[in-house]
Amino acid sequence: MSRKYLSRKYFGTDGVRGKVGEHPITPEFVMHLGYSAGKVLTSASHLAQNERPAVLIGKDTRISGYLLESALQAGLIAAGVDVYLAGPMPTPAIAYLTHALRLQAGVVISASHNLFEDNGIKFFSGQGNKLPDETELAIEAGLALPIITVPSAKLGRAKRLDDAAGRYIEFCKSNFPYELDLRGMKIVVDCAHGAAYHIARHVLHELGADVIAIGVQPDGININADYGATAPKNLQEAVVAHQADLGIALDGDADRLVMVGADGRLYDGDQLLYIIARHRQMQGILKGGVVGTLMTNLAFEHAMQRQQIPFARAQVGDRYVMEVLQQKEWQLGGENSGHIICLDRHTTGDGIVSALHVLHALRVNKQTLEEATRDLHMYPQVLINVKVDKGVDCLGHNKVKAAVVDAENILNGKGRVLLRPSGTEPLLRVMVEGEDQKLVEQSAQRIAEVVRKLASSQT
């Protein structure tokens, strides 16, 4: 992790995020953020004479999106930037449309898989990429300066992008081979009452699938609540009840994916990434290797070794997976949480596009999810989130270090321990994995309890 990342005050691993109404997710701050971003993101743009810079704004289905969209829009317009409003759209849709429309930047108002009380702001460059540290630092520096509205004649304008959904649906479909279709497949898709509620089912239906959609009735407060990639129980039950071939679950902003087999079994990001990687290898189109993260299951790494596919681990977070992919000039990477990046097809992780790549592999090889992952024997992995208030250092404490050493000794070289702070929430994530389920669970609980006691004693 870079020193620059550590020095950032507001930007985390995925934009600026927090509880709505509490700093920094307030209308005043977001307006200032929009103004500063407008100045920074358009200052380096190659604009023709008299050409006005333009930025695309999308959001998920949280009720606070209305509030923050207006504030962000005001800040950008005050900076002299034209604004295109896409309405509720998946995060990867904004990345795609920003680049396709040759705009200077894209902004998404979303807190991804969090519940509705939270929200956030994340940015894309004109190329559809997440912003580098240097640009985020420049935007933060601009927050210390006053808002100076441009002269009235140079104020930005705002307009709706009415065909945003249709454009993105066609882009998603272009990721599935034209000569193939999904006819004969019954698929349940769970959109988490989020940004893909009016997108995902149409993509699958237009490719020929019999689609049953759940989690597609957003009301502003039910996003990610008991539905979606982080709460797949309803999907698992629906797949079995409808006797579907499989199920697809997205999160609130549709950049994350998990899938469910006909028997209700859940398949996470590691397993889905394995299917895509193996299919590409068999087709002879796997460029280089595959990037995972520190959370990637050890079994995945061992499977890559067996298949002679190079493998590298990045810090947790899709921005760090992207960094390693670019450094190595590889194209495929992802996280066990379900963020999967296919750099030859998109500039960012995309849940719908990733699902189509899995479906492509299953159709070509005439396999089920179970058959496609038969050679990948996942090790038991336990993840416990412990609330740790900001400023409390548990990682460096001797008691925590000792608990980790004890766990590693118990696992005896047949597993691993990872402790890491969340980049978006006040949590310390305790992860233990290994061959023995019982030892893994006991070790994770012991470490978590040490962290929990230490955290409570320092608050």
Q: Quick one: pLDDT at residue 459? A: 58
What are 115-150's pLDDT values in tens digits?
999 999 999 999 999 888 888 999 999 999 999 999
Q: Quick one: pLDDT at residue 7? A: 62
Query: At 47, is the pLDDT very low, low, confident or very high (cuts 50, 70, 90)?
Result: confident
- The Cα 227–Cα 248 span in angstroms is 11
What are 142-170's pLDDT values in tens digits?
999 999 999 999 999 999 999 999 999 99
The CATH number of the domain holding residue 415 is 3.30.310.50
- The Cα 385–Cα 292 span in angstroms is 21
pLDDT of residue 94 exceeding 50, the answer is yes
Q: Which domain holds residue 345?
A: 269-372
Q: What is the pTM of this model?
A: 0.91
441, containing H or E segment: helix 437-457
Cβ neighbours around 40 below 10 Å, total: 22
What are 260-308's pLDDT values in tens digits?
999 999 999 999 999 999 999 999 999 999 999 999 999 999 999 999 9
Looking at 162, 186, 208, which one is the last position of a domain?
A: 162
Q: Quick one: pLDDT at residue 367? A: 98
pLDDT of residue 49 exceeding 80, the answer is no
**Domain shared by 49 and 81, yes or no:** yes
Looking at 94, 129, 162, which one is the last position of a domain?
A: 162
List, by residue number, the catalytic residues: 112
**Domain shared by 139 and 15, yes or no:** yes
pLDDT of residue 4 exceeding 50, the answer is no
Q: Quick one: pLDDT at residue 44? A: 62
The CATH number of the domain holding residue 81 is 3.40.120.10
**Domain shared by 13 and 132, yes or no:** yes
Q: How far is CA 2 from CA 5, 120, 308, 329, 444, in A?
A: 5, 22, 31, 20, 28
Buried/exposed 327-346: b ≥16 CB within 10 Å, e otherwise:
eeebbbbbbbbbbbbbbebb
Q: Quick one: pLDDT at residue 5? A: 43
The number of domains in the chain is: 4
Nearest-Å Rg of the Cα atoms of the chain is 22
Cis peptide before 24 (omega within 30 of 0): yes
Looking at 338, 372, 406, which one is the last position of a domain?
A: 372
What are 334-390's pLDDT values in tens digits?
999 999 999 999 999 999 999 999 999 999 999 999 999 999 999 999 999 999 987
